[in-house]
Amino acid sequence: MAQYRAMIIDCHVHVGWKGYDAPAVVRHMDGLGVEKAWILTWEATDGGLDLGGYTHLSAEAVLAAHEAYPDRFIPFCAVDPRRENAEDRLRGLVGMGVRGYGEHKLRILADNPDAIRMYRLCAELNLPVLIHLDIPLPRRPFWYGGDIDALERALIACPRTTFIGHGPGFWREISADAYRSKSAYPKGIVRLGGKLPALLARYDNLFADISAQSGLNALQRDEDHAKEFLTTFRNKILYGTDAYDRGHLDMLEKLALDRKTFEAITWRNAARLVPI
């Protein structure tokens, strides 16, 4: 697949996460042949309430990284919509160069009224919304955004807003039997009729980010299904890592996707949502 790599855009990167500062992230990108990356914040005014896993990733750090590497980083920022000045702050950040809203990763439902207000502002400002979904499971009591049904309610409430789904609560729904699994990362054959492909087919404003263990697991668990799924929804899928390895790129190459599908996923869709 090396001949396909005219460009790669990683839609899910954090600076200041797991010890990777901006120069380290750029070295990682260089090692993969990634030309540009969306860099995302993680802001929660309640400190995350997630049993110590929350790491504040600020808008200021994102903008500083972008200033240091303006040709490599595309800045995103998800202002916590529960802030009293949330809308004004987001408008100000857009004036400073922010191009998208993400990562929205909060212990509120995806269709929380404050969140809906911010999503609608994002539509006005032409910002895609990258949202993390997680659900409570045995040994994983924390949650973010609620289940995929909450996301669908947001899609209905905000038809002009572009949403990009991510996380275990999103990707486990690739299979129709997700409700039976007690794992954030289910294994085994993907059963047709899952809620995720149904939403991708139904809503023009929904896209999917394959980053993190959640996205990679959804592809690895059933490679025959993964190739068909990626080909069918090639104009809805974005390459992302949310990690500092090459697992996602290796998986895309292993599937031997046709050139049109590979390029759509690795850069064309991201460039369509956030022009470069």
Residue 93, classified by CB atoms within 10 Å of its CB into exposed (0-12), middle (13-18) or buried (19+), is buried
Supply the DSSP string of 169-210, one letter for each residue: HHHGGGSTTGGG---SS--SPPPS--HHHHHHHH-TTEEEE-
Instruction: Give the pLDDT confidence score for residue 3 in this predicted structure.
Output: 52
pLDDT band at 140 (very low <50, low <70, confident <90, very high): confident
pLDDT band at 195 (very low <50, low <70, confident <90, very high): very high
The string of pLDDT tens digits covering residues 264-274 is 999 999 999 99
Mean pLDDT over residues 224-233, rounded? 97
Q: Which bin fits 201, alpha (ψ -120 to 50), beta or left (φ > 0)?
A: alpha
pLDDT band at 4 (very low <50, low <70, confident <90, very high): low
Structure tokens at 30: 């260089």
- State pTM to two decimals: 0.96
Instruction: Give the pLDDT confidence score for residue 65 in this predicted structure.
Output: 98
Mean pLDDT over residues 119-133, rounded? 98
Q: What is the CATH number of the domain that holds 147?
A: 3.20.20.140
Instruction: Give the pLDDT confidence score for residue 50 in this predicted structure.
Output: 62
Residues 6+ apart with CB under 8 A from 236: 200, 206, 207, 208, 269
pLDDT higher than 50, residue 171: yes
For the chain, the domain total comes to: 1
pLDDT band at 102 (very low <50, low <70, confident <90, very high): very high
Instruction: Give the pLDDT confidence score for residue 2 in this predicted structure.
Output: 46
What residues make up the domain containing 151?
2-273
